[in-house]
Each structure stands twice: as structure tokens, then as C-alpha cells.
Amino acid sequence: MTLWRTAYASVIGTSHVQTGAPCQDAGACRVIRANDGREVMLAVVSDGAGSAARSAESSMLAVQYFLDTFTPHVAADPTLQFFDRTLFESWLHDLRYKITGLADQHSMDVREFACTFLAATLGPESTVCVQVGDGAIIGSGDEVGDYAWLTWPQHGEFANTTNFITDDDAFDAMEFEFIDRPINEVAVFSDGIERLVLDMGNRSVHSPALRPIFQWLATTEPSLEKTCPDPALEAFLGSARINERTDDDKTLVMGTRVVPQTEERA
């Protein structure tokens, strides 16, 4: 049985409901049992630019292409030592080529497919985080429930601006972090919930906002892959309590390998 409990959901923002626009976020997670029997979790989020007409398509493409590409890599080497900036730059180059192909098919400018990208790869010994754009990745190490950011939102000079993987300077904007320790709890999320869990002024994580969600997650059933969004997480992200604080699309991908206390006693 897998050690990981995971959940993900993307929920349309109330501003998009009012305008009839689709949800432009995408997210997913997968737990891979490597060839040596150990496990690696992949968590990925992409947020389509609100002003880009076809960004919902590119965000879904980015999420699926990441999972498809790196599943065999982590299965072969759960230490993640293969993962470096050069490899990911090559992957990003290929993804941009695919998005350009989509734009050509529709005779549209590639900017109409603009999206951000965040991914966390969590092995038994180390962690890799990659980001272009806003949103963030947070995690805990040895101290369960005490969260810190692993990547921070990339905001531009002006309000509501960020970096996109379709930008000319996407490779310069890309953040790549190889963390030489395991992360036991992780949350990857789009900018729709940044201000619910991050203290932007102090550049810190508001841990109390996340603890109840991780405590709930620890009580769910472990599984290697969630093939559909979690209804409970969807309900939470779409609740009036959340929509009162943000009208944007919201995506949250979570994982924990913390054993609940009831299981520890058993």
C-alpha cells in the first residue's frame, strides 16, 4: 500500500461564472512506485492567463505533458539525481513547441495560450520544485504542521502581472530548486488562493489556514493515482467562505505521507 494520500481540485472563479468564461486552471497528481519499490509523488498546477482566449487548453496540456514525461524518469531513479535545470529547460522547450503547434492550428497568436507552471516532485530522499509565474509551492519537513514556502509567487512590476511559459524570457524566469531532503507534506496552488494561505507582506506561510486541510487529507485513503478531482476539496474551494475572499479560478494539489495518529497507535 502506498504511503501517500493525495487530493486535487480546480474550481472556477465567480468572476468567470459571471462572464461565461471557462475555468482556465488545471492540476493533477500521481504517485509512482519506482523500480526499487520506493515512491515518488508528482504534483503539478498550471494557471491559464485570464486574458488569453485558449489558455485553458494550454494549462491542461502542460499538466498532462509533465506527468507523461517524468513518470518513467522517477520510476527509474527515485533519488531524483537525474533532475537538473538543463533537463527541465529541454522539457520546457518541447512544451513551448507543442503550444506553438496548437496556436498554428487555430491561426492564433501564441499569447492566447499563455499559462503559468508549477510542479513539485517528492522522492524519499530529495525534492525538486519548478515554477514559472505566480502561485506557490509550500511544504513541511520534520515538523508536521509547520509550513514554509518552497517557491514564492512571481509577480510583475504592475498589478496582476506575472510570467508565463509562452513568454520570450520564460527560461530566465524559470525557478528550479533541488532540495536535498524529503518533504512530507506538500501543497501546490494557483494564484487564486495565494492570499488565503500566504502572508505577502512578510513572505511567509499562514500555517493555521493549511493545517485543517492536511489533517483532513491524512484521514483519506492512500492511492497511487487520483484520476479525478476530489469532491470534498472541490466543495471547499467552491464554498461561499472561499469565494468571499477570491473571485479567481482556484487550483490546489496536495499530498501527505504523514501517518495519522490512529494508525500509529494501531
Is 149 within 8 Å of 157 (Cβ atoms)?
no
Number of domains in the chain: 1
3-state helix vs strand vs coil in the chain, percent to 5: 35, 25, 40
**Residue 103: its pLDDT value, please?**
95
Task: Work out the percent of the chain whose per-residue pLDDT is above 70.
Answer: 93
**Residue 228: its pLDDT value, please?**
82
- Asked whether the predicted pLDDT for residue 237 surpasses 70, the reply is yes
- Nearest Cα to Cα of residue 47 among 252, 265, 255, 259: 252
Predicted TM-score (pTM) of this structure: 0.94
Parent domain of 176: 5-265
Q: Which helix (H) or strand (E) holds 114?
A: none
For residue 213, the SS3 value is: helix
Q: How confident is the prediction for the chain on average, in pLDDT?
A: 92
**Residue 58: its pLDDT value, please?**
96
Radius of gyration of the chain (CA): 18
**Residue 266: its pLDDT value, please?**
43
Task: Work out the percent of the chain whose per-residue pLDDT is above 90.
Answer: 82
| Integer Cα distance of 146 and 106 in angstroms | 47
Q: Which regions of the chain does DSSP assign to beta strands (E)?
A: 5-11, 25-33, 39-47, 117-122, 127-132, 136-140, 148-151, 175-179, 185-189, 198-199, 204-205, 250-256
Out of 56-65, 155-164, 214-223, the most confident range is: 56-65
| Integer Cα distance of 5 and 218 in angstroms | 6
CATH assignment at residue 173: 3.60.40.10
- Secondary structure letter of residue 167 according to DSSP: S
> Strands 148-151 and 198-199: what pairing?
unpaired
Q: What is the pLDDT of residues 126-184, one digit of tens each?
A: 999 999 999 999 998 667 778 999 999 998 776 678 999 999 999 999 999 999 999 99
Q: What is the pLDDT of residues 15-29, one digit of tens each?
A: 989 888 899 999 999
Least confidently predicted of 88-92, 126-130, 151-155, 261-265: 261-265
